[in-house]
Homo-oligomer: A and B are copies of this chain.
Amino acid sequence: MTPQRLERIHQTLSLRQPDLTVLTDEVHKDRNLSAIVRTCDAFAVPEVHCVWPGDQYRLRRNQTAGAGTWVDVQTHPAIDTAIDHLQQQGFTICAAHFSERAIDFRDYDFTRPTALMLGNEKEGISEQAAELADEHLIIPMQGMVQSFNVSVAAAIILSEAQRQREVAGLFEHNRLDEETYQRLLFEWCQP
């Protein structure tokens, strides 16, 4: 490992935002999931939480792990327990979801601990998950098509989260706890 590479790893770790995460509710296409994970890495999101469709839980958990060398991809068996797990940790669950109670994503305060929940390519967010979510966010659309590709929606919203966190100075100091920092440093330095 070159000193430049090590420096880059330290730099990246020191920008990571432990209080910003993504939760996927049965997003099933690998290419969408890997685009989401890639976007998370770029916007300093350290973890992605996934719930898989139907009985793909076992099948997928390893496959997906590969998608993120730089992002921890965690699998949950069901959406209700995943939401509960994140709420227990203090996250506000924001469903990217069209509904009566949805607000424009730019009006949400992303400096709060936030888990952005994204829905399945066909069905969107399940009824149960929509109900359990603390907030619903929409990206206003001006065309004929009814929705964005899910990885595109994720990127548009996370870009706004990044912007707000930059303005708020949340990238100015390391925000990972010492244990997580050292664990990731060790993992990322493996050849």
Contact = CB atoms under 8 A, between A and B. Distances in A.
A88 B187 CA distance: 53
Pick the most buried of A44, A139, A155, A163: most chain B CB atoms within 10 A of its CB: A155
A103 to B, nearest CB: 16
Interface in A150-178: 151-152, 155-156, 159-160, 162-163, 171
A52 interface: no
Number of copies: 2
Interface in A104-159: 106, 139, 141-145, 148-149, 151-152, 155-156, 159
Give the dominant DSSP class at A's interface.
helix
A25 interface: no
Interface residues of A, number: 34
B41 A143 contact: yes
Interface of A: 8-9, 12, 15, 31, 35, 38-44, 69-70, 106, 139, 141-145, 148-149, 151-152, 155-156, 159-160, 162-163, 171, 188
Given A38-B149, A149-B151, A43 B142 contact: yes
